[in-house]
Amino acid sequence: MLNDKRIKNKILRRVLLVGSLKLVVFAAIIGRLYKLQVIDRDKYKTLSDKNRINLKFHAPLRGKITDSTGKIIANNKSVYSLTYSYSYIHNFESTLAKLIKLINFNDLELDIIQREIINIKMTNKNIILKEYLSWKELSIIYVNIEDLPGVNIKSSSIREYSRGSYFAHTIGYTSYIKDKNTEIGIEKKMPFFLKGQNGIEKIYDNYLKGIPGTEEIEVNAKGKFVRRLSFIKSKPGKDIQLTINSELQDYGHNVIGPNIGAVLVLNAKNGDILCSASSPSYDPNIFSKTLNTKSWNNILNSANAPLINRPIKGLYPPGSTFKPVVALAALKYGLIDSNEKIFCNGTYVLGDRNFHCWKKHGHGKLNLLNAMAQSCDTYFYDLALRLGIDKIADTAKLLGFGKYYDDYYGISKSIIPNKEWKKNNFNERWQKGETLNVGIGQGFLLSTPLELAIMTGNLINNGNIIIPNIIKSISGENLNYNKNIKKNNFNIEHLNIVKKAMYRVMNTPNGTAWKSRIDDRGFKIAGKTGTSQVRIISAKERETGIIKNEDLPFEKRDHALFTGFAPYENPKYITTVILEHAGGGASKAAPLAKKLLIKSRKIIEGLDTDPTVS
């Protein structure tokens, strides 16, 4: 009996042990189910949705870009491409074979497809088989689409630049995002998303690009469409209107002709850019489609650098167009007045060096007004030496050289040298002879055409500062960047003396631009010519006779410059012209500036100007 009791206890213990083990296992199962269905519900729902739901993004239309009158410069053009879905990768070879029989693929396209197929296996992303289908190709694919599993026709848009090369540097261009690793957000998930790469397209990309749309699509286990779950329409980008007048822009390019250079026309009151022409140029439409490496390298390595936006980024010795800065500095610091005369015999001696005036035998005695009119180098050597380089540099900066305005113009790379600059860049002391070179716009001094135009505006505006502006409105909202007019703190009397001196450049018989004058009393032109040397003239050449520009190799010829305004009494337009290696500013640049100012008045105001002279 005792033995039976022991057997019963042993069985009971085993039953309890087995029961406990079952309870633990059951509890674990219940806990796991609770974790899966309650705690991790959202996680596994998301994983399930990722397998069941495809999220697509739709690229928005970019905003249009128009000129000051509303003419469209940049717009969107519909194009069609063939894409292939990764869900049908197992059918790819046979599908491609069918496609090749239907439409033409060149060797480059086939090579790209083979590389993309490797990527599709790793990324599970759709690929582009062929871009920019013709209407004939589109119709062929559409008719045979049922026999091409995985192939889709994708509609997208590219940029179309109706004014072509005439606006290339201003507008810039766009391209599809190719390097997906360089972008953030949903943009990298859209194969047809346009991004600004240069000019207005780049700087104002956030305004122009719009907001992508989204679409949720339910698919089955094979990745085939079941139904659309949601759809949010994309929002187009904002339209941008420029201050540039396209008719005047076209004229600016025609005026430059075959020359290399830049022309600018600004509103003299507020700095609005009315024309900004750069030559040579390029067709921005080539960037709207896939650009092969050879074509890109041809543009990039062109000897005449067509990609440089010369009016904004071109760097040139300003030559004698810088003399108004030196004159104003001398007046500002009380180192001269408009009546004091300085004698020019053709040579200015500093130590054991001779600095030459452009007029070999000199100008004789000249006051400031006549020295500016005749562009006497000796006079400005003397002023520069009195001032010293730091006072010249400070005055230049107050007139707009070296300024940062916004990202479109960028950080100026012009060189306005002073003692500190020389020390920092060469670890050398500044020399007096270098001051004389800067006094006539040569030496280390480099500036952009825009800076010369802004300098002109700040000289002639009764002490008001002008700021360059190229945006008129965004989505119809007018912008006024110069609403709060600031003063430059120069003495108005001094500014008027310099302005009067610029008038004499064109309106006195000895003035360097006398031949470009007009007698229309309502539209008198004033300005300053400049001829900047790009070579050193030896003493021997001076003795035997300076070689004429036309007899020199092209790259050693002088740059021709002019900056001016009209009308003299109440300036409305500023123009700056720079022609690379064209020769003298008086003979080459000033006549073009005259044409630009007359045309500006005609286009903007509808007023004719009598170009005849007595």
State the catalytic residues.
320
Burial 154-170 (b: 16+ CB within 10 A, else e): bebbbbbbebebbbbbb
Phi, psi dihedrals of residue 176, rounded to the nearest 5°: -70, 150
Q: How far apart are the first and last CA of the chain?
A: 149
Q: Are 68 and 472 spatial neighbours (Cβ–Cβ below 8 Å)?
A: yes
**Cα–Cα distance, 549 to 577 (Å, whole number):** 19
457, 271 contact by CB (below 8 A): yes
Give the Cα-Cα-Cα angle 600, 601, 605 (nearest 5 degrees). 115
DSSP string, 153-181: EEEEEEEEETTGGGGHHHH--EEE---GG
| Strand extents, DSSP E, 261-366 | 261-267, 273-279, 342-344, 347-350, 353-356, 364-366
User: Three-state SS string across 387-452, please?
Assistant: HCHHHHHHHHHHCCCCCCCCCCCCCCCCECCCHHHHHHHHCCCCCHHHHHHHHCCCCCCEECHHHH
3-state secondary structure of 559: strand
Q: Is residue 245 packed enough to be buried (19+ CB in 10 Å), middle (13-18) or exposed (0-12)? A: buried
All residues at 6 or more sequence positions from 47 whose CB lies less than 8 Å from its CB, including other chains: none
d(CA 174, CA 233): 23
Residue 558 identity: D
> What token pair was written down for 521?
């009393």
> 437: closest CA among 367, 352, 377?
377
User: For residue 299, with 0-12 CB atoms within 10 Å meaning exposed, 13-18 middle and 19 or more buried, which class applies?
Assistant: middle
- Chain centroid to Cα 447, Å, comes to 17
Q: Is 37 exposed, middle or buried (0-12, 13-18, 19+ CB in 10 A)?
A: exposed
> What angle in degrees, to the nearest 10, is found between the helix axes of 323-332 and 389-398?
100
Q: Do residues 581 and 553 touch, judged by C-beta distance below 8 A?
A: no
